[in-house]
Amino acid sequence: MIKIVVVDDQPLIRDGLATLLGLRPELEVIGTAGDGREAFEKVKQLNPDIVLMDIRMPGTNGVEATSLITQNVTGVKVLMLTTFKDSELIFEALEKGASGYLLKDMPTDTIVKAILTVHSGGIVLPPDITAQMLKELKKSKVFETPSDQVEAPKLLEELTERELEVLKQLGYGHSNKEIAGILFITEGTVKNHVSSLINKLELRDRTQAAIFAVRYGITTFL
């Protein structure tokens, strides 16, 4: 059973989501929190598998709380709950170690599926929504730094064709098992490719690789 902590500053949303998820046999909601600092304390106390984290909260927001959790607690994954207008904060949260995001108005079944995906090692980046967000972020010049413009193409040249294929699937948020099925290779081979491409692209982890894939259009040109 997957242990969940639900974090949102609005009691109606927080308690409602906790109740709905608690009805699922594969999930157990073991705690809730109303802000990022409380979330961090609850995580240290309860040791959940997944934290559903609202991104905008008074005091310590979801991005700051995600950073606290990923830097100080091992084995806990964070899935952001947000709205479309929070594009910049979403990618900041992903940079801080979140394993993906969902919009708050998505169906409960979609949220449950996302929890299962993250728990199995996948990343949740809804392709259509992510593409729209990236367009908005590029308009605001968030991603257009000199290092982005110069380094991305050069680093990509270091990857093999298979590593590019794996990177594309990471951009879709697939787990190693799912990638293995899509590319007809073993899960161990996928793991090796992921480690290799992360090293070549000088990234921290698979979440960073997924962001890289989306940011530089790997999910669209392969």
Whether residues 41 and 110 fall in one domain: yes
Whether residues 12 and 116 fall in one domain: yes
Per-residue model confidence (pLDDT) at position 151: 47
The pLDDT > 70 percentage for the chain reads 87
180-192: per-residue pLDDT in tens? Answer: 999 999 999 999 9
Per-residue model confidence (pLDDT) at position 21: 96
Contact between residue 218 and residue 164 where contact means Cβ atoms under 8 Å apart: yes
For residue 79, pLDDT over 60 is answered with yes
Whether residues 164 and 112 fall in one domain: no
Contact between residue 167 and residue 212 where contact means Cβ atoms under 8 Å apart: yes
8-57: per-residue pLDDT in tens? Answer: 999 999 999 999 999 999 999 999 999 999 999 999 999 999 999 999 99
Provide the 8-state DSSP code for 6. Answer: E
Whether residues 119 and 39 fall in one domain: yes
Give the model's confidence band at 136: pLDDT under 50 very low, under 70 low, under 90 confident, else very high: low
Whether residues 102 and 182 fall in one domain: no
Per-residue model confidence (pLDDT) at position 215: 77
Rounded Cα–Cα distance for residues 134 and 131 (Å) = 5
Whether residues 185 and 152 fall in one domain: yes
Residue ending a domain, choose from 86, 106, 136: 136
Rounded Cα–Cα distance for residues 117 and 49 (Å) = 12
Q: Residue 3 in 3-state DSSP?
A: strand
Whether residues 96 and 42 fall in one domain: yes
pTM, full prediction = 0.79
Per-residue model confidence (pLDDT) at position 146: 41
Rounded Cα–Cα distance for residues 148 and 101 (Å) = 23
Whether residues 50 and 131 fall in one domain: yes
Per-residue model confidence (pLDDT) at position 50: 97
Residue ending a domain, choose from 136, 168, 202: 136
Whether residues 108 and 164 fall in one domain: no
Whether residues 102 and 26 fall in one domain: yes
Rounded Cα–Cα distance for residues 16 and 149 (Å) = 44
Whether residues 29 and 121 fall in one domain: yes
Q: Give the residue among 169, 204, 201, 199 at the shortest CA–CA distance from 183.
A: 169
Q: What's the Rg (C-alpha) of the chain? A: 17
Q: Which residues contact 65 (CB under 8 A, 6 or more apart)?
A: 7, 35, 36, 37, 39, 40, 53, 57
Domain total of the chain: 2
List the domain range (segments joined by +) for residue 114: 2-136
Whether residues 69 and 111 fall in one domain: yes
Residue ending a domain, choose from 102, 136, 170: 136
Q: Which residues contact 10 (CB under 8 A, 6 or more apart)?
A: 54
For residue 153, pLDDT over 90 is answered with no
Rounded Cα–Cα distance for residues 175 and 181 (Å) = 10
Q: Across the chain, what does the average pLDDT equal? A: 87
What CATH number did the domain enclosing 177 receive? 1.10.10.10
What CATH number did the domain enclosing 119 receive? 3.40.50.2300
